[in-house]
A and B are shown apart, each in its own frame.
Chain A
């Protein structure tokens, strides 16, 4: 499997959020401001890459019968390491992501990639897989954050830009749909993003079919 194909799978055709539909819980819960989205995305990317590297390195040592237990121990270790570092050096992010950082342990993306990719491939390929799948997760989070923040509170870049990290106000807050910042907005946005993604992913196929018919 080459790098280009891996990149395309991670970002588009096998995107962990919109195609594999993994790790939905955190996606719905934390995509309320750009800061959260980027922070969560990078946390998952780092944990996924590290756990993929180690699981690929240990894949010949780990007995098949207890592989899930071994994967979870490795994953839980990295999650705790990241959680402790965030608490110590990025406490604002740690406070706003709350319980969703420790919950990355049970995030299906990490275990899913460990089981389906890292346990069968080399260290280099697994590391790349972690980075690309992590990027795929991050960009969907960022898109959802931007949409929900804009519609829900009329701002852009919450937690990062603007005065006191409140984001740049694009329109007055009393015009905003507060529901978009709530869980219901998460479901609506996720559905819209998945639908849009499927539309664009299937578009080239339709064009090919038309060509075939024309021939």
Chain B
């Protein structure tokens, strides 16, 4: 603040000492600094555990869709931006993480698809989903519904679109979203091979 401004006579008398700009800034700054320290501490305390949880979840899903001893991440360079990551599961085939958000009902849907070396689906798991509970959420909860995808190849479609997948009643959009994701994974694996 320039001196000219500081020396300007006040139009009203200063009411209490705490209203000066300097003190306001210092107080808020001090509170923010302490809070930032606390947050930094807690973050470094929990960061490893959080990362492990996320990794564990992904690994669990990978083991479920296509069992293998280890998974090597391979780079997918194709045009489909919905393929989030791809892993080679030894000789058994590939495991792909596919983002189906664009075709989901609520805007968050990602799946893990296992593809056998012969180009058929070995398993599907839903990783993240915000679909309606009781309808679209069944895709994540009901393993027997996802089992329909096992053995499918080429273009996978729901029954309403002339395919073989029985869609979840009341959640055709979610079913279609998962099917599109599976189709994308199959196409990506064809490119990888």
Contact = CB atoms under 8 A, between A and B. Distances in A.
Contacts of B57: 91
Contacts of A64: 16, 18-19
B32 to A, nearest CB: 6
Nearest to A178: B134
Interface stretch (B22-30, B76-84, B94-102, B155-163): B22-30
Given A65-B19, A73-B31, A73-B32, A181 B39 contact: no
Interface in A62-78: 62-66, 69-70, 73-74, 76-77
B50 A84 contact: yes
A80 B53 contact: no
Nearest to A99: B130
Contacts of A32: 133
Nearest to A60: B18
Interface of B: 16, 18-19, 23-24, 27-28, 31-32, 35, 38-39, 42-43, 45-46, 49-50, 53, 57, 130, 132-135
Contacts, number: 66
B18 A70 contact: no
Given A69-B28, A84-B43, A74 B50 contact: no
A63 B46 CA distance: 33
The list of the 7 closest CB pairs from A to B, nearest first, reads A88-B49, A88-B46, A63-B18, A77-B35, A84-B46, A178-B134, A91-B53
A85 B41 CA distance: 12
A70 B32 CA distance: 8
A58 B134 CA distance: 47
A63 B24 contact: yes
Interface of A: 32, 58, 61-66, 69-70, 73-74, 76-77, 80-81, 84-85, 87-89, 91, 98, 152-153, 178, 181-182
B50 A66 contact: no
A62 B18 CA distance: 9
A85 B27 contact: no
A3 B137 CA distance: 45
B35 A74 contact: yes
A35 B50 CA distance: 21
A181 B134 contact: yes
A98 B24 CA distance: 35
A41 B134 CA distance: 23
A126 B88 CA distance: 57
26 contacts: A58-B31, A62-B27, A63-B24, A64-B18, A65-B24, A66-B24, A70-B27, A70-B28, A70-B31, A73-B32, A73-B35, A74-B31, A77-B35, A80-B39, A80-B42, A81-B39, A81-B42, A84-B42, A84-B46, A87-B50, A88-B49, A91-B57, A98-B130, A153-B134, A181-B133, A182-B133
